[in-house]
Each structure stands twice: as structure tokens, then as C-alpha cells.
Structure 1
């Protein structure tokens, strides 16, 4: 393979998709970092040649011109998609389409289209996959709050580049929107919401911001605060995403009817869950869990099928809620 061919491939990998662009000067610097010593005029000629074969466009409204791949172009570059990769992208499309805002999905559209073209080109039965797969989220099918695509894009960039960003944010308990500066630690998609886990300047502790409550975002070049002791998985497993009602874990003991067994076995309530048979119709569960709103909801929903043996205060709290519900409905 000639040096010119290698240079072409390197350049093509450096060019972003529109609306992001890159100038010939920046391409020259990038090529220099890869060991290619070429002048600006050579790069300009290369771009002209490559644009005849690849979907490259020049933004003539800027000086110097910014180069990019056409926003609607497919990504049919080397190496070509094989069937497993195409199927994976089709699965991703089925799952992500109901979760992500449309602006975020537009960035993935060329990859999804290439996957579909690959399946159709090879006359593979998987080409019918989009018509045969649906994603239904568990629970009440409420409409997802609208997330500003520009906000999600800037927050994602701040997270990847480890930079601070400013958000115009309206928390539920605030009288009016505020402009806050945040240090992003991670994004969590917990249907139907997208959460930014972060620290807010001037405030203690790790916070969760629901992105649909942010109306504007600005990326800052200041580096985000490093948190070496923060792990996103540990944060989730601590119960923080379940609306903690108390800081102390609960040693939960339940006596459950047989219909609950399959659910408990397939989706354990905790890592240390122990199941002991009591009779042909009942079993005993002992597990350590976080005291979250989700746990309370689950216990109330399963109340006809289980007894809360311990702790007593949790049983009393659930009974109080259920009695209040019965009295309300009986009073209609």
C-alpha cells in the first residue's frame, strides 16, 4: 500500500460528520502527528480528489473552509459491515428509538441505514428485522418527557471530554429556573427519564439532574472535578437511583406465596438473597436491600401475595399506605 493511500485513509478517519467540521490546517497538523509531512496545498488537492469519491462537503460559509461528511451519508467505509454487526445495529435501533431524543438518533441514522442496506443486499431474512421487533418498557406506558437534543449533546460532550458545563435548570422544588455549573460524572437512562449524575458548583454531594428539566446548556473548557472514589455502578447499586428514603440498608424478611417465586428467582432483590421453602405453597426470603421508594411500591403491589416478617416498622409503613388507599377508594 502506497504512502498516498495510507494518507488518504488517515484523512478520511479524521473528518467528522456535519455540522462538525475540520479545516485543512487542522488536517495537516493531524497528519503530521501520524508521520505524514505534507504541505497545505497538497491536502487541499487531496480533499478535492476524495470528495469525488466520498460524501465530503465543504462549508463555504467559513474561512478557511471546514470539511465534513454529509450529515445524511451512510458510513459505508472499510471495513464493511458483516451480518452480525448489522444485526447488532438493528437491535440497537429497536431499543434506542423509544429512549433517545430525535436529535441524538439523527447522529446514528447513517449507521442504522447502512445496517439495513447490508441485510437487504445479502437477501437475508434478518432484513425484515425492523418489522418483527418491538421494545415495550415495563410499567405504565406514560409518554416520555421531551429532552432538548442540544442539551443532551452538550452534556454528553462535557462528560466525554471531562469538562464542566452550565445548565439552565428548573428543579421541581425551585420557584424559577437557575443557571448552574455542573461537573458531570455519568448519564443514566432509567425509563422514561435521562439523568445526569453530577456535582453542582457550590453544593455538596452527588446530585441527579433530570435532563428534560434543562432548557439550555453551554460547554465550558474548565476541567470537571475528578472523583477518584466515584464509581457509577456502585452508585446505582447503593440504591441512589431508587429515591432513597433512609440511609441505612434493610434486612428484609418475607414469606411469599408460590406465584411470586419465579419472579424472585429470576430477578433477585439483592446479591445476598436466600430462599428457603416453608411449605408446598409458601417460601421464605431473606435479603439486604436499600430503603427506596421503588421497594415500597413493589411491596404494596405484591401485598396480596406476601407477608413482611421484618422489619416491623416497614410492615407498619406499608399497611398504613394500603389502609389509606382502601379508605380513599371506599369513600367514593
Structure 2
């Protein structure tokens, strides 16, 4: 076949156009790159008919002269991007963002899987360098502390085997069924469940899997990571509840241990420290404050009654009095009496 064969020339021009189209549509680092499958779909949508093998050859060729780069993501997928003098994302990070990253360290260490800890450590080191290189901000970390509103509990990272946590994360992300063995306490029997993972809730040092059991697919439940003994992939799609969103589920504060599964109008009398808190924060979006006298104020709001709320009331001791509902008031009184008995 001659070099100037019209069919050959058309194929050559189409290959050039295809490569230019790929270059024009690939993200530029540090943006998230595209997988081979995503590139294939992009080209097919544009009318190119070709195999993934051809795309692989194109990518290899382009990487040699067109500044293409790639990185493997956490799930093992290779992601391609335009590598224009590939700069580390933190090299161009403004000082304010670097500062926020360093301050977020405690939270990030609790949320991220352990296999990400090396990457987090590198990012934090670079963020610290970025801060220390700016004279104005060099002493920020010596002048700022982020503290918990509660007693500072020392976080134990080893609350679940890392391979099991990775399976849980991937199953939530990919909406795949898992089987777990679960032990409520050291003296209870181990239970075995097939679960439909729906989401994750991370509260201080506790990580919760939100899921439904195979036999009750409409009833979301919480499963504490540190009580999960083992996890196994089932490679099946989950059965979703007919009406469920993590936001709606979380509004009930399920990790605060529900006392009642219905909204209640709560009335409290507050003074001193408790009054200062509710004047500058809200116990609920509809919170209302009303002055009773020179000392006491009444705070009214709606919420799902939880042990969290009881804990908040008891936290301020004599500065908070529960007025209603009666059921919540009885819970508070019962707790106070039981506490006093422990000291008698």
C-alpha cells in the first residue's frame, strides 16, 4: 500500500485529531485525572470507534512527547492527566489554606484510612514549611490551639483492622453488600450479619457504619467500627431503603443514643454559663430565648430527645433546669438520683 493512499491518509489525520482531542480534554495536574475507561467513553461519545488497546498505545506515545502523566488512585485505577511541569499542589497553596490544613490535622488523622497516613504526613510537613517560610505566619502554630468542647480523650487509631476498614469504605462508595461478624461487648456472643452499607458517621473517636440488615432493608442501623470483628466482600449491589438520605438520618442524632424517635419541644431554664452558651450558639435551628427574670432565661427548641441532650443538661449542673417534656425531665432526674446514690 502506498504512503499517499487516501485511506491511509484519512486514518493518519483521524489519529492526529483523536490525539489532539484527548490532549484538549485530559485534566491538567493537580486536577483528578481520567481512567482508561473514562477516556474510552469520552472518545466514543465524540464518535471515535476504537479499542482500549489503541487508547493505551496513544497514551504511551503522548506521554513521551506531550507531557502526559499518571497516578494510581486508592482503588488501583490509573488516572491520566496533562503533566505541565508537574507542581506539587502544596507548592501553590496559599498561606491561609496551608494554615487550615495544619489545624485540621487532628480531624484528618481520625477520618482518613491508615494507608493514607504517609501521604497526610507529607502534606502536613509541606504545609508547615509553607507557613514557616512566611515571616508573618511563622509563629501561628505556637499561638493557636484547637480543643474539644468535652474532656480531651486520647484517640486510639487501632480500632479496626485496616484491611477491613478499606473494605467498608469501598463498599459504601461502590454500594456493595458486605458480611460482618460483630460483637456488642466482650462478654456477648459474636453475631453475623449481611449488610447494605449506606454511609459513614464519624463522631470524635468513634466511627459508625450506617447500614441495613439483609432481613430488614428499610431499617437503617449503626455499627461501631471497633466492634466489627471481620468483614467480607459479597460483590452484590445493595438494596436501598425506599426513602433514605444520610442527612435526614443524621438529623435524628442517632449517635447520641435516641430516647424517643419523635421530635419533641424542649423547654429549659438556663443561667450563667449555660445562658452564655445558648446566647452565642443554638441547640436547634428554631431555638428561641425568653427572659424570665434577672437571673433565669427560658430556651425553647425542637429536637429528638437523646442521651447527648441529657449529658448537655447535666454538664452545667445547677445552671440548667429541664421544664419539659415530662419524659425528658424524668430521665434527667433519674440520672441525678442515680449519680448521688453512687456517692452515698
- Deviation, 1:156, is 2.0
Q: Counterparts in 2 of 1:194-209, with a 5 A limit?
A: 194-203=207-216, 205-209=219-223
Does the CA contact (< 8 Å) of 1:101 and 1:149 recur in 2?
no
Match of 1:220 in 2: 234
Residue 38 to residue 324, structure 1, CA distance change in 2 (3 Å): closer
- Separation of aligned partners in 2, 1:98 and 1:132: 21
Secondary structure of 1:206's aligned partner: strand
Secondary structure of 1:195's aligned partner: strand
Q: Counterparts in 2 of 1:231-242, with a 5 A limit?
A: 231-242=245-256
Match of 2:12 in 1: none
- Separation of aligned partners in 2, 1:254 and 1:320: 17
- Deviation, 1:159, is 1.8
Match of 1:63 in 2: none
Match of 2:3 in 1: none
Deviations 1:182-209 (A, max 9, x none): 1122111111111111101123611001
Deviations 1:40-89 (A, max 9, x none): 4773584387389787689xxxxxxx9679xxxxx837998442784377
- Separation of aligned partners in 1, 2:139 and 2:160: 30
Number of equivalences:
312
Does the CA contact (< 8 Å) of 2:305 and 2:328 recur in 1?
no
Does the CA contact (< 8 Å) of 2:62 and 2:68 recur in 1?
no
Decide which of 136, 139, 146 is 2:147's aligned counterpart: 136
Unpaired runs of 5+ residues, structure 1, are 59-65, 70-74
- Separation of aligned partners in 1, 2:21 and 2:128: 27
Decide which of 100, 103, 108 is 1:97's aligned counterpart: 108
Does the CA contact (< 8 Å) of 2:19 and 2:58 recur in 1?
no
Match of 2:173 in 1: 160
- Separation of aligned partners in 2, 1:199 and 1:296: 28
Secondary structure of 1:205's aligned partner: strand
- Deviation, 1:237, is 1.5
Are residue 324 (structure 1) and residue 338 (structure 2) matched? yes
Residue 57 to residue 323, structure 1, CA distance change in 2 (3 Å): closer
Secondary structure of 1:325's aligned partner: helix
Match of 1:190 in 2: 203
TM-score of the pair, normalised by structure 1: 0.73
TM-score of the pair, normalised by structure 2: 0.70
Residue 288 to residue 115, structure 1, CA distance change in 2 (3 Å): same
Moved more, 224-233 or 97-106: 97-106
Q: Counterparts in 2 of 1:29-108, with a 5 A limit?
A: 29=40, 32-33=43-44, 40=53, 43-44=56-57, 46-47=59-60, 50=63, 76=87, 81-83=92-94, 86-87=97-98, 90=101, 93-100=104-111, 103-106=114-117, 108=119
Q: What's the C-alpha RMSD, in Å, of the aligned pairs? A: 4.4
Are residue 210 (structure 1) and residue 221 (structure 2) matched? no
Secondary structure of 1:97's aligned partner: helix
Moved more, 307-316 or 234-243: 307-316
- Deviation, 1:261, is 1.5
Moved more, 181-190 or 5-14: 5-14
Larger radius of gyration: 2
Residue 5 to residue 219, structure 1, CA distance change in 2 (3 Å): farther
